[in-house]
Chains A and B, each alone.
Chain A
Amino acid sequence: MRSIWRTLDHRPLADIGLACLAVFFIGLSYGAIAVASGFPLWVPAVQSVLVLAGASEFLFVGIVAAGGSPIAAALAGLLVNSRHLPYGLALPPGVTGRRWGRLLGTHVMNDESVVFALAQPDLERKRAAYWACGLGVLACWPGGAVIGALIGSAVHDTSAFGLDAMFPAVILALIVKDLRNPRTLRAALAGAAIALAAAPFLPAGLPVLLALPAVLLLVRESAVTPQADRQPVVAQAGSTP
């Protein structure tokens, strides 16, 4: 893992460190919320290690705390986490590691590690960014959750501190460079509009998946756009110094 520090520049490393710090703080609110909802400490602790996908864990805890069946809560969480399938498709082969390393490399696939990997210009740096961020999240998310659960009895009202605004802000900050491409922005806005329109009627998680057909906007446009105008969405953003 030492090669991570040699391969990456200071800038992406600093950004990854800050992303992990943000994950730690969101983990704090997760642990605190889970304990405040009546779960024993081991639930957020075990779940944060084994699931390692924040939004679905919040959802699971929320549904079970509201009286829903844990199995239904798990299925709702899986709906949210189904976005990891296109993530796996988007990552170039080799980023998640080989042989045994890949068992862990697959587990540390999350919103942040995928975005940081895709933003890097070549395979070596993609792999370094992916592992630095993935392992950082693997340490910070459960760490935050356990500490949050421990101090959970002290902080009852996490919404008073605006902690619920941090999760969407983290994700938004991570994709903003891709949104500078006007076509990606248009498709993303269309997808967001679909998800918002569906949110009042469908179970949590499903609206996000319904946003996916917005990618068709890009299919049609890239078919009629001249070759010279086509540039990789993420590579373009990653190549700016």
Chain B
Amino acid sequence: MKNPTLVVAGMATLAAGTYAFRLSGQLLRARITFPPRAARLLEAAAVILLAALVATTALTEGHGFSGFARPAGVLVAGVLAWRKAPFLVVVIAAAAVTALLRLAGVP
């Protein structure tokens, strides 16, 4: 860690800004009444963001492809989750499949 002061400043910025995001959505909502359809769309919007987060964290590393092992593990987890497997089974399967593929030499 080269510059501790700057790192602390970065951590404080991230913490304060994140809290502001968490608060501002609620404050906006308290001032505006949403019709039920808009409320459902907002819930769907959160699901879309999370799905995009799954896709990017599963398939990319920096600006490139993450390799096959990680998305394969996440795919197995997705199939298990779709078939209503217990949560822990889903998560451990993702790690296990990825680890085994890497052990077998898959990037």
Give the A-B pair count, Cβ closer than 8 A. Answer: 293
Interchain nearest-CB distance for A48 vs B (Å): 10
Q: Interface size of A by Cβ–Cβ distance < 8 Å?
A: 98
User: Quick check: B70 and A90 within 8 Å, CB to CB?
Assistant: no
- Tell me the residues in window 60-88 of chain B with beta carbons closer than 8 Å to chain A beta carbons: 60, 62-64, 66, 69-70, 73-74, 77-78, 81-82, 86-88
20 example contacts (A-B, Cβ-Cβ < 8 A) are as follows A50-B15, A78-B17, A81-B14, A89-B34, A90-B39, A90-B45, A114-B46, A162-B98, A162-B99, A164-B70, A165-B70, A166-B94, A171-B57, A172-B74, A175-B54, A192-B54, A195-B52, A200-B63, A218-B44, A230-B40
Residues of B within 8 A of A47 (CB): 11, 14-15
User: Quick check: B46 and A86 within 8 Å, CB to CB?
Assistant: yes
Given A88-B25, A184-B47, A188-B47, are A168 and B13 neighbors across the interface (CB < 8 Å)?
Answer: no
Residue A118 at the chain B interface, CB threshold 8 Å: yes
The range of chain B's interface size is 35 or more
Given A168-B58, A199-B56, A233-B43, are A70 and B6 neighbors across the interface (CB < 8 Å)?
Answer: yes
Residues of A within 8 A of B (CB): 15, 18-19, 21-22, 25, 38-40, 43, 46-47, 50-53, 55-57, 60, 64, 69-71, 73-75, 77-78, 81-91, 93, 96, 106-107, 109, 111, 114-115, 118, 159-176, 178-179, 184, 187-189, 191-196, 199-201, 204, 207-212, 214-215, 218-219, 222, 230, 232-234
Closest to B55 in A: A192
Partner of A173, one of B17, B59, B77, B97: B77
Partner of B23, one of A77, A88, A164: A88
User: Quick check: A90 and B46 within 8 Å, CB to CB?
Assistant: yes
Residues of B within 8 A of A215 (CB): 41, 44-45, 48
- For the complex of A and B, list the 5 residue pairs with the smallest distance between their C-beta atoms, beginning with the closest: A88-B25, A70-B10, A162-B98, A169-B94, A211-B52
User: Quick check: B28 and A89 within 8 Å, CB to CB?
Assistant: yes
Given A88-B28, A233-B43, are A165 and B13 neighbors across the interface (CB < 8 Å)?
Answer: no
Closest to B17 in A: A78
Interchain nearest-CB distance for B95 vs A (Å): 4
- Residue from B53, B93, B95 whose CB has the most chain A CB atoms within 10 Å: B53
- Residue from A38, A55, A82 whose CB has the most chain B CB atoms within 10 Å: A82
User: Quick check: B52 and A176 within 8 Å, CB to CB?
Assistant: no
What is the CA–CA distance of A90 and B39 in the complex, to the nearest angstrom?
Answer: 6
What is the CA–CA distance of A104 and B40 in the complex, to the nearest angstrom?
Answer: 26
